Structure formats: C-alpha cells, structure tokens
Amino acid sequence: MKFSAKKEIEKGLGYWTVVIEGDKWVDAVKKGKNKVAASIEIPGFRKGKAPKEKIEKYVTPVKYLNAALQSVLDNAWKFALEQNSEIKPFNSPVPTPKKINDEYCEIDFIFDLKPEINIVEYKGLKDNELKKEEIKVSKEDLDKAIDQYRDKFSLEKDKEKDAKISKGDVVTFDFEGFIDGVAFPGGKGLDFKLDIGSGKMVPGFEDQMIGKKLGECKIKVTFPKDYTPELSEKNAEFVLNIKSIKEKILPNKDDELAKDLNIPNVNTYKELESYIKSQIKEQKETQLKTIFVNKVIELISKNSTIEIPKSVIDKEVDNLYKEFEAKVQGQKITMKDYKKQTGLTDDNIREELRNDAIKRLESYLITDKVRNTEKFEVSDDEIKTKYEKLAKSFGVEPDYIKNNLLPIDHIKEEIIKEKIINFLYENNG
C-alpha cells in the first residue's frame, strides 16, 4: 500500500490517500467476485448454485469492486493512521473511492482539517473578573436541601373546602394562558400538580396563587426577558380552575429521617446534616470553578490565534440547531410554528447560533491544547475512587456502574476533564 496526504486550506479539508495495487488488490477483487456470486439468487436455483455462465451475468464490476473495496477499507484506514501524517483529521474521515478497477484501487479519506491554534499563555492569567470566592454553606442552603429529602416521605392532607392556598401547599389545577385575549401554544395544562413555592412557574405565578381558593380565578404575569423569543417580556393572563388544595406534612428532622434515607454511613440527624453540607459545598465548588474556568478560557481566546475552518463551524452550527430544535419541541411547539410566531427563518436562527458554535469550538480547542501539553495521566486508584463515589451516589455497587452504565474509557475521560478544570482554576487568578 502507498500513502500520501494533502490539504486544501481554502476548503478546510484534508485528504489521506491510500493506494492498493498488485497481488493484494487482485486477491481482494477475486474475493469480491466470489462473495457477490455466492449471494446471487436466480429463479430455479439455490443461492449461489446456478451455472457459472448464468451467475457471471449478474456479477457486474460495480457489485464486485464495491465488495472488494469494503473488504479493504479497515486495513487501508489503519495503514493511513500508522503513517503519522502531519496533516491531522479533526473529525471522522469519509472514505471515498477515487479510482478503482480490476488492477488498481485509490481511496481518499476526506476530513475537516484540525483548526490551527496558537496560545500565548494559559497559566498565570490575571483579571478583575478572575476572583476565587470563599465557598460557604448557609443555614438556608442546608434547610432547603434537607426539606428536599423530607419531601420524599411527605404526606398530603386535603385542606378545608374554604381554605386558602399557602406557601408549601400542593395544588392541582387546570390553566390556560392568553396574550391580548388570544390563547398561545404551550400555555394550557390539565390536572397540573404544583408545589407552591417550588419556583417551577414563571416569576409571580405562584405568588399570586397564594390566598386563592377552590374554583376559578385569574392571575397576570410578565414573561422574563430570557424566556422563549415568542413570549419574552410579554404580558399574559392565566385562567385557573383550582381543583384541590392539599397541605404537605413533612417528617420531623430527627434520627428516624436519617435512617429512612438509607445513606451509607449516615445514621443520625447530625451525620445527615454533615453529609448534606459536604454535598452542597461540592456542588457550589463545581459551579464556581466552572464559571471561573469559562472566564479563563475567554481570556485565553482573546489573546490567542485560533483559525477554525468554515466547514467545521458549519457542522457545529448544525449540532446546535438540532439541540435548539429539541428544546423547542420540548415546549410542544413545532419548528414551523416557532418560526411563524417569531418571524425568524432558518438562516436567522443559524446566524444567532454561529457565535455559540465558535465559542464551543474554541473552548474545546483550548482545553485540548492544555490537555496535550500537560499530558494528564489517570491512575487506577483515581478510577477506583471515581467508581466508588458514583456508586455511593446511585446506591449501587461499583461493578454495576462499570459493567452497565459507564465503561472505564468514559470514566477516564471524565477524570481528565476534571483535571483540566482544576489545573486552569489553580494556575490562574
């Protein structure tokens, strides 16, 4: 086999070309003919058992050369990888036959070129926005988290018929929303169950339900600016039919609650508080680190030269568009209706997503550069600890997660991502 590589900068494409000829290709063609012949079905004969002269009519060059090509693709790709070309693929190459006949086969593996990135520095960065806040767990944080655990064992008791809704009650109701007197898509619900004070509804919705009684009532809200474009900052009136109001009765904050939760090594209420504090602290630490590192990446991007081929950006825009479409459909609106309501076209939406696509790609390229430069390693002990931690969270054995949910390669990748975040956090600001 022979190998060559080239790139077309203006198109952002790279080509790994593999040539297969001589005995290796002649043998592949022969096997391709035999494979096609064995699959031919001719009326009156068992598969592959018809006379040779009849079978040969059906064994066309298109069929047997394609069979031969398929049989050599894996080896051709492995051979190309072994050449360690300086022209590196950014994504999975598409194999394309360039020239193929009975004596000769030339395959192009076509891929997007890996973007060029030149980072001046990714350590020791200083900026007013790079602040490392002290992580604190407030009493309010702790009470809220404990109430979420208590909620698992809560009971619901019907309130009196003339009772009013209070914060913490569980209310079942029908609702329909109107803007300028016209019902809007996704604004209707039947037998909707809501914990008052949960914050699931738009701001002001639950607050206005407090004090209401069984039966019909109306409330008015203004959708937030960051809501879906067709509803952003619009005033709406909701007509509610409140069907039931239940008081939620939570279990006491005591040792029995701790035992009922069945958390490993947590048997008393004091141990439960300590466990939840550590959980909250870890969550806050992760959130703050992520925000901090995102700002670090923005600074690195500003001071770096990053050239991303248009083809790569376009594909990332396609990915973001699919994600956006899934979110729209999750609100029970079709993309056709969404575009009609907002007046946006596909081109408008894709243009808005383009900056997000570039930022996502730049973030990946920067962290990938840090990863390859620092050469992070993952030890067996780190993998074991990660599995044990996940097992504790899910309440299952580590082997179950390893064999059924997350293979070792996935866990290694997660650990390396954490190491990159920790590295950028610790070495900047």
219-253 residue pLDDT tens: 999 999 888 778 889 999 999 999 999 999 999 99
CATH number at 108 reads 3.30.70.1050
How far, in whole angstroms, is CA 128 from its chain's centroid? 31
Q: Is 344's pLDDT higher than 90?
A: no
Give me the number of domains the chain comprises.
Answer: 3
Q: Which of 82, 113, 144 is the last residue of a domain?
A: 113
Length of the chain: 429
Considering the domain boundaries, does residue 305 fall inside one?
Answer: yes
Proportion of the chain above pLDDT 90, given as a percent = 69
Q: Are residues 239 and 295 in the same domain?
A: no
Burial 341-373 (b: 16+ CB within 10 A, else e): eeebeeeebbeebeeebbeebbbebbbebbeee
Q: Are residues 289 and 376 in the same domain?
A: yes
CA distance 172 to 192: 5
Sequence-distant (6+) residues with CB within 8 A of 191 are 172, 173, 174, 243
Mean pLDDT of 209-223: 96
Structure tokens at 308: 């991303």
Mean pLDDT of 107-133: 90
Query: Residue 30: which domain range?
Result: 2-113
Q: Are residues 187 and 319 in the same domain?
A: no
Q: Is 49's pLDDT higher than 70?
A: no
Nearest to 16 by CA among 101, 86, 102: 86
Confidence grade of residue 54 (pLDDT, cut at 50, 70, 90): low
Average pLDDT value over all residues in the chain: 91
Confidence grade of residue 34 (pLDDT, cut at 50, 70, 90): confident
Phi, psi of 159 (to 5 degrees): -85, 165
Q: Is 57's pLDDT higher than 80?
A: no
Dihedral class, residue 46 (left if φ above 0, else alpha if ψ from -120 to 50, else beta): beta
Q: What angle do CA 232, 237, 238 make, to 5 degrees?
A: 110
Burial 399-411 (b: 16+ CB within 10 A, else e): eebbeeeeeeeeb
CATH number at 201 reads 3.10.50.40
| 3-class SS shares of the chain: helix, strand, coil, % to 5 | 50, 20, 30
Q: Are residues 193 and 293 in the same domain?
A: no
Q: Which of 62, 79, 113 is the last residue of a domain?
A: 113
Q: Is 202's pLDDT higher than 70?
A: yes
Q: Are residues 243 and 271 in the same domain?
A: no
Considering the domain boundaries, does residue 75 fall inside one?
Answer: yes
Q: Is 41's pLDDT higher than 80?
A: no
Considering the domain boundaries, does residue 9 fall inside one?
Answer: yes
Q: Are residues 224 and 294 in the same domain?
A: no
Q: Are residues 160 and 285 in the same domain?
A: no
Confidence grade of residue 334 (pLDDT, cut at 50, 70, 90): confident
Which of 12-26, 44-58, 177-191, 306-320 is predicted with the least confidence, judged by mean pLDDT? 44-58
Q: Are residues 10 and 67 in the same domain?
A: yes
Q: Is 157's pLDDT higher than 90?
A: yes
Structure tokens at 243: 């069907």
Confidence grade of residue 115 (pLDDT, cut at 50, 70, 90): confident
Confidence grade of residue 44 (pLDDT, cut at 50, 70, 90): low
- pLDDT recorded at residue 31: 93
Considering the domain boundaries, does residue 19 fall inside one?
Answer: yes
- 384 versus 342: which is more confidently predicted? 384
- pLDDT recorded at residue 5: 95
Q: Which of 249, 276, 301 is the last residue of a domain?
A: 249
> Tokens 């930022």 label which residue?
359
CATH number at 407 reads 1.10.3120
Mean pLDDT of 62-87: 93
Residue 409 in 3-state DSSP? helix
- 26 versus 344: which is more confidently predicted? 26
Proportion of the chain above pLDDT 70, given as a percent = 97
Nearest to 19 by CA among 88, 112, 110, 109: 109
Q: What is the C-alpha end-to-end distance of the chain, expressed in Å? A: 52
Mean pLDDT of 392-414: 89
Considering the domain boundaries, does residue 338 fall inside one?
Answer: yes
How far, in whole angstroms, is CA 399 from its chain's centroid? 25
Q: Is 200's pLDDT higher than 70?
A: yes
Q: Are residues 289 and 212 in the same domain?
A: no
Q: Are residues 245 and 340 in the same domain?
A: no
Nearest to 21 by CA among 125, 118, 143, 104: 104
> Tokens 């058992």 label which residue?
49
- pLDDT recorded at residue 123: 93
Considering the domain boundaries, does residue 334 fall inside one?
Answer: yes
- pLDDT recorded at residue 58: 76
Q: Are residues 244 and 281 in the same domain?
A: no
- pLDDT recorded at residue 234: 93
Mean pLDDT of 350-368: 93
Mean pLDDT of 171-181: 96
Sequence-distant (6+) residues with CB within 8 A of 94 are 109, 110, 111
Helical pair 346-374 and 310-330, crossing angle rounded to 10 deg: 120
Q: Are residues 420 and 329 in the same domain?
A: yes
Confidence grade of residue 90 (pLDDT, cut at 50, 70, 90): confident
Q: What is the pLDDT of residues 264-303, one digit of tens each?
A: 889 999 999 999 999 999 999 999 999 999 999 999 999 8
- pLDDT recorded at residue 56: 72
Considering the domain boundaries, does residue 30 fall inside one?
Answer: yes
- pLDDT recorded at residue 55: 67
Considering the domain boundaries, does residue 128 fall inside one?
Answer: no
